Structure 1
Amino acid sequence: MVDMNMPGGGRGVLEGAFALLEAVERAGESRLTALAAESGLPKTTARRLLEQLVELGAVERSGGLFRMGSRMFRLGLGWQPHPGMLALARRPVHELARATGATVGIFVLREGRALTAAAVPGEWDTFAPMRAGTAFPWTTAAGKVLVAGAPAGLPVDPPTKAWSREAAQIREAGFAIDRQEVAEGVCCVAVPLRGRSGTAVAALCALVDPSQPLSPLTASVVRAGRVISASMQGHPGR
């Protein structure tokens, strides 16, 4: 349960508010009692915080149901993993999607999962819809290519010896492939996107149906990734 009486009470209030916002996000739309239970807050505290969030436009109320507010949506649009990256990647991502028919996305590692920062739907989008804000297991191609090149200590499942070998292969090849390992009917190819320091700051990933040959897709993803990385490395602040 969130401690609303912890030292520095302002932080406790903020933690409670964010616990509620996360509960609302997971539920989509829910009632006070369920949100209080989901967030670990006393019902009276949850009611008070929800009322304040409604007043601020962070949460909307319809009858007895609460859902995410337009203010959170607007603020969320301003987020990107690295300043300027999404703008620099927009054209190459759209060109890759048009050329291959793949659903194409940019991913970052957050809280041990592969978080979609941006996505362009393709011909096989119905199999595994990719939308900005959607999180996937780190064992997807996008997650693997980032974990393989990251320093130790990431909040992911304990790596096995098999993963250590696979990670070394990914680093050597420069890309990762998922052949229906995470979701049946979905194959993915991902490459790291590198900033000025040479460190992978995100991953470019393309998703297709298993009937599609992966060799030409891999070549296309690698080329697009190099274009984006080159743009990032020449961009101030990258």
Structure 2
Amino acid sequence: MNEERGAATAVRPAEPPHPPDGGGRSVLEGAFALLGAVERAGEAGLTRLAAECGLPKTTTYRLLEQLVELGAVERSRKGYRMGSRIFRLGQGWQPYPGLRTAARAPARRLARLTGATVGLNVLREGQTLVLDWTPGDTAGALGRSLDAGVWPWFTAAGKVLVAGADPRLPLDPLTGSWHRQAGTIRDRGVAFDREEVAAGVCCVAVPVHGPNGAVLASLSAVTDPAHSLDRLAGAVRHAGRAVGAALRGR
């Protein structure tokens, strides 16, 4: 009896592996590739998304329809666009527990005091990622410049973060004067952007330190060229220290 049971076990076929989706890519990798393509395009049709991700059109269609059912993607006039569920999930992300809550009141006070639009920012994948905007009086004048949630690392908000980061962090472009500039930013505790990234947009940014002293984020005040950035810097420093104090529970 035992020999028969062993023989039966030996000939039992193995479970088939989960079929990959194009080029050996897993279903999960294919879905995330599609989400990335939709995000970059804003809106795009099936053919474009399949070509960008290197997936068969039948696979692309199946994955997109599954993402639609989950609320991660929506059908649109031009094909597909990002869904509201991704927005809701993204709003819950933060690089340190309580960071958004700690920044909320200081950011509102800073916007009310200065009229500048205040951003809470982190460095991810070599770019400046805006976690939250607090609109100020100048928000209307800055227009669509504030719609972007991702900026180059060499904004004022990104410079502060890079200056306090690992010096081996791969970034491009790095000018020959960057190391001297980074030392100045660390010494002064503030970085400036005078229309270096977008015309009509100026920025002051300071680091936000966590309980262990590490730089967790940056707090930035975005305004127009009519405002004095040097005068604004003091208020931004004060707000940045208030965020750090809130993180420490003070």
Scaled by the length of structure 2, the TM-score of the pair is 0.85
- In 2, Cα distance between the equivalents of 1:27 and 1:160? 30
Q: Give matches, 1:31-180, under 5 Å.
A: 31-62=45-76, 65-125=79-139, 126-127=141-142, 129-131=145-147, 134-157=149-172, 159-180=174-195
Aligned identity (percent) is 58
- Secondary structure of 2:59's counterpart equals helix
Q: Which consecutive unaligned segments of at least 5 residues does structure 1 have?
A: none
Moved more, 226-235 or 26-35: 226-235
Larger radius of gyration: 2
1:87 to 1:56, Cα distance in 2 relative to 1, 3 A: same
Corresponding position of 2:217: 202
Q: Which amino acid aligns with 2:156?
A: A
Q: Which consecutive unaligned segments of at least 5 residues does structure 2 have?
A: 1-19
1:62 to 1:168, Cα distance in 2 relative to 1, 3 A: closer
CA contact (8 A) 1:105 1:117 kept: yes
Structure 1 residue 44, shift from structure 2 partner: 2.1
- In 1, Cα distance between the equivalents of 2:48 and 2:22? 19
- In 2, Cα distance between the equivalents of 1:102 and 1:63? 37
Moved more, 118-127 or 141-150: 118-127
Moved more, 58-67 or 208-217: 58-67
- In 2, Cα distance between the equivalents of 1:61 and 1:213? 46
Scaled by the length of structure 1, the TM-score of the pair is 0.89
Question: Quick one: which of 210, 213, 220 aligns to 2:235?
Answer: 220
1:100 to 1:22, Cα distance in 2 relative to 1, 3 A: same
- In 1, Cα distance between the equivalents of 2:53 and 2:75? 17
Name the count of aligned residue pairs.
Answer: 229
- In 1, Cα distance between the equivalents of 2:36 and 2:146? 20
Corresponding position of 1:189: 204
Question: Quick one: which of 5, 30, 35 aligns to 1:21?
Answer: 35
Q: Deviation per CA, 1:18-54: give whole Å up to 9, x if none.
A: 1111111222222111111223322222112112111
Q: Which amino acid aligns with 2:49?
A: L
CA contact (8 A) 1:108 1:114 kept: yes
Structure 1 residue 215, shift from structure 2 partner: 2.1
Q: Which amino acid aligns with 1:215?
A: D
Q: Which amino acid aligns with 1:116?
A: V
- In 1, Cα distance between the equivalents of 2:230 and 2:35? 42
Moved more, 215-224 or 64-73: 64-73
- In 2, Cα distance between the equivalents of 1:38 and 1:155? 25
Q: Which amino acid aligns with 2:50?
A: A
Q: Which amino acid aligns with 2:67?
A: L
Q: Which amino acid aligns with 2:43?
A: E
